[in-house]
Structures are given as structure tokens and as C-alpha cells.
Chains A and B, each alone.
Chain A
Amino acid sequence: MSDDVTLVERAADGDEAAFGALVRRHTPRMYRVALRITGSAAEAEDVVQEAWLAAWRSLGGFRHESAVSTWLYRVVTNGALAILRRRKPTISLDAPEPAGRSTLDSALLAAADPGPEGRVVRAEEVDAVLRAIGRLELSQRVPLVLRELEGLSYEEVADVLDVNVGALRSRLHRARVALLAELRER
């Protein structure tokens, strides 16, 4: 299996199969990030499609200054932020939850594995975490998603968000404290 750098180089030379291999390899995590940031399965799909179009257009300009996966995280994160900024401000991110299950819950719960009672309790806790993350302001939600849910290193998150590691650490600390406060209020 070719590595990402080779695939990017071949795709930049017009190799459609190489580009297809990149899309197959990275789309699942790009969708996951887009869904966790936007909270909407439909918007996450749009974000992923736009992100790949943007990535395809900038293949020739990829400078290998960061890993391909980090570059794609950056593209999809920027896409998700752009779509949230365009979203009509009819519903505040801090608004109380509407009755019933949110799109994010539904999309994420689609994966929930029905099991013993203990697992159901844990699933509810996970749902609460995801809802709480969705209520955080974007400047806290995005680094939290990348670091805590995606497991990127501080350096990788800083690279994706184009901030220095020190600033990121303090932003993440505030985000963790805010998330914990939300969870304790349950």
C-alpha cells in the first residue's frame, strides 16, 4: 500500500487512482471531524465534499511541511468552521436542546452497540459528553474535538489550527474546564 506522500505526489500528477486511494483512506476521519464540529450529518457530508475539492485543487501546492493527514484535518476543520459561520443565526449554539434527539446524537448513536445495561449507561454518558462538546463555543470545541476525540498531539492540533502550542494548551485547558462544568451540571 502506497504511503500518503506518494499518493499525493501521484495525484498531483493527475493519477486519479491515487487520488481515489487518498479519498478512501481519509474520508472516514474527515467525516468524523466534520460531524463532531458541525453536529449535523448533512452538513458534515457537504464539508467533506468541499474539503476534498479544496484538497484536490491544492494538491500541486502541498509542500510536505506537515503530514498529509494533518493537512487534510486542516482542510476539513476550516471547511466545517466556514459552514458554521455561514449558518443562519437562528439557533444559538447555547440554546437549550430541542425535544427529541439531535442530528448529532442520531448520527453518532447509529453506531451505538446495543448491549448490557452497563453499556447503555455508558452510552448515555457518551451522548452527554458529545452534546456538551456541541454546546461549547467554537474556539474551545474545535481543539477539544481534535485533541480529545481524534487523539492528535498538541503539535498536530497547533499545526491544524495555525496557533502556537502554548496558546493551544491554555485554550484546551479552558475547554476542558468548560466541558467538565457542563458535565457536572447534568
Chain B
Amino acid sequence: MAPETDPEQDPHWDAVRAAARRRVPTPPGLVERVLRAVARGRRTALDVPGEAGRLRVTEQVVVRLAAAIAAARAPAGVRISAVAVEDDVVQVLVSVRFGVTADEAAESLRQEITAELSRQLGVATAVNVHVVDVHPG
């Protein structure tokens, strides 16, 4: 068996060094999106006084919960494009498959998210579903 040589001495390793030098551009607006996400993480979306103390839930948590629920409960032919909280209302943007009855699918999803969010958070939360795109079947 031939003795194992140092991989870094192999001629192929020059390409690895070149790979390390390749610039990777940061996507435009990423820093701003990060700062907005952190700001959302700071903001309180729900503040519910209780006998034993308060329940505070940040916008980031509400967005994550709503996104997870939307992904799990989306009817056939509905894709979740984005979830956000604006003016204390959960906004869900979806794309529907061509041929799907958009208003029925959106309303069904809205009811599912509203019910599950209320169950998990213990308070009623307003949810809007917006159909923003159509995709082929």
C-alpha cells in the first residue's frame, strides 16, 4: 500500500485554496432583514394579564407558530409564501394551484390558523389570508 501523502501538498489542493478566495456576495438587503427580524423578536405581540402573572409573546414567536400551523394545515393546492404580523394581525400570504377555488381555500386556512393559534396561545388572534399568486398544477 502506498504511503499516504499530505493532502495539502497535492496539486488538487490549489483549487481548494482558490475556493477559499472566492468572494461570496451578501444578498442585498440581508442586513436590513436581519435587523427587522431582531426588532420583531423584541416587539411584544401579545400581552395578556393573568391572575398569576402576565403572558408576553413576541411577534417572532407568533410568526413562527403561525407559519408552522399554516404549513401543517394548508389545504391541497395551497402553498404558504410568507407569514408576518402587522398591526397586531397575522398576515399569511399564499399561492394557490391553478383550478383551486381560491376564496374557499383561503377561508379554510384562515379558520384553521385562527383556531390553532387561539388554542396554543390561549387568546384570540386575528388572522388574514391573502392569495398573492397562482401556480400551475
Interface residues of A (CB under 8 A from B): 19-20, 23-24, 27-28, 31-32, 35-36, 41, 45, 48-49, 52-53, 56-57, 107-108, 110-112, 122, 125-126, 128-130, 133, 148-151, 173, 176-177, 179-180, 183-184
Contact B24 A177 (CB under 8 A): no
Give the distance in Å from the alpha carbon of A111 to the alpha carbon of B12 in the complex: 22
- Total residues of chain B contacting the partner, CB 8 A: 27
Smallest Cβ-Cβ distance to A183: which chain B residue: B12
CB-based contact A56/B19 at 8 Å: no
CB contacts between A and B, total, < 8 Å: 87
Please pick, from A19, A23, A107, the residue contacting B24 in the complex, using a CB distance under 8 A: A107
Whether the Cβ atoms of B31 and A27 lie closer than 8 Å is yes
Q: Can you give 29 A-B contacts (C-beta < 8 A)?
A: A20-B35, A23-B31, A27-B26, A27-B30, A27-B34, A28-B26, A31-B26, A31-B30, A32-B24, A36-B24, A45-B27, A45-B30, A48-B30, A56-B42, A57-B41, A110-B25, A111-B22, A111-B25, A112-B22, A122-B15, A122-B18, A125-B18, A126-B19, A129-B15, A148-B16, A177-B4, A179-B16, A183-B12, A184-B12
Contacts of B17-72 to chain A: CB distance below 8 A: 18-20, 22-27, 30-31, 33-35, 37-38, 41-42, 60
- Bound CA–CA A173/B41 (angstroms): 41
- For the complex with contacts A126-B15, A129-B16, 5 further pairs of A-B residues with Cβ separation under 8 Å are A19-B38, A27-B31, A32-B26, A111-B25, A176-B7
Are A52 and B37 within 8 A (Cβ)?
A: yes
Q: Given the complex, which residues of B lie within 8 Å of A149, measured CB to CB? A: 19-20
Q: How far is the CB of A90 from chain B (nearest CB, A)?
A: 16
Residues in B neighbouring A130, C-beta threshold 8 A: 19, 22
Residues of B within 8 A of A53 (CB): 37-38, 41, 60
Q: How far is the CB of A74 from chain B (nearest CB, A)?
A: 17
> Min CB distance, A160 to chain B, in Å?
17
Q: Complex formed: what's the CA distance from A49 to B67 in Å?
A: 16
Find out whether the CB atom of A108 lies under 8 angstroms from the CB atom of B22.
yes
Q: Does B98 contact A (CB under 8 A)?
A: no
Which residues of B lie under 8 Å from residue A107 when comparing CB positions? Answer: 24
